[in-house]
Amino acid sequence: MARKILWYVKRYAKAEIASTLAALAVYLLAKQFSQNEILCAYAMTMGENIGFYGVIVLREFSASAKKYHGQHKASHALRAAGNTVAEFGPSEVLDSLFLRPAAIAAALFVIGNDLTGALVGKILADIIFYSVAASSREMREKFLSKDRI
């Protein structure tokens, strides 16, 4: 179990760093225009998605290009998009539309409309997001395994 958790930490670390930096930058920018916790929470969610999926899609594209060298770049892009949707689709719908903005807004309201509240809300949402994303990936691997008859 510990080995699997470490594998996931390595798998998502770069994307999580990029998403956290983007989320906090967008949150600070949104605060310049509004003190509304809900608006700031949605803005932070959008920034986080851009940072996270930017890294994830580039990783998937690069992996496809290495594995299927010589194919057209469009096929790598489609494969990268398909792999990303398969791994994150179920968790992302719940996360972006409801869970993450609600967790961030609640933490901003309870803790305060500052970086501490924003970060606590983000971490709460991350715990649920990664639980669902890892489950989706495990199911994808199980059902798409080449060893499966």
pLDDT at residue 39 greater than cutoff 90: yes
> Using 50, 70 and 90 to split pLDDT, how confident is the model at 57?
confident
Flag whether 61 is in a domain.
yes
Q: What is the pLDDT of residue 81?
A: 80
What's the count of helices (H) and strands (E) in the chain, helices before strands?
A: 5, 0
> Using 50, 70 and 90 to split pLDDT, how confident is the model at 145?
low
Q: Convert the pLDDT of each residue in 28-38 to its tens digit.
A: 999 999 989 89
Flag whether 89 is in a domain.
yes
> Per the structure block, which two tokens stand in for 42?
């949605």
pLDDT at residue 147 greater than cutoff 60: no
Does residue 72 come out as left (phi exceeding 0), alpha (psi in the -120 to 50 range) or beta?
beta
**Type and span of the H or E element at 86:** helix 73-94
Distance CA 8, CA 77 (A): 23
Distance CA 93, CA 84 (A): 13
> What pTM, to 2 d.p., does this model score?
0.78
Mean pLDDT of 93-105: 91
Flag whether 48 is in a domain.
yes
Q: Determine the structural domain holding residue 122 and report its residue range.
A: 2-144
Flag whether 67 is in a domain.
yes
Domain count, the chain: 1
Flag whether 149 is in a domain.
no
- Are the CB atoms for 137 and 87 separated by under 8 Å? yes
Flag whether 113 is in a domain.
yes
Mean pLDDT of 78-91: 79
Q: What is the pLDDT of residue 75?
A: 76
- Are the CB atoms for 121 and 41 separated by under 8 Å? yes
> Using 50, 70 and 90 to split pLDDT, how confident is the model at 48?
very high
- List the single range of 3-7, 68-72, 99-103 with lowest mean pLDDT: 68-72
110 Cβ neighbours under 8 A, 6+ residues apart: 117
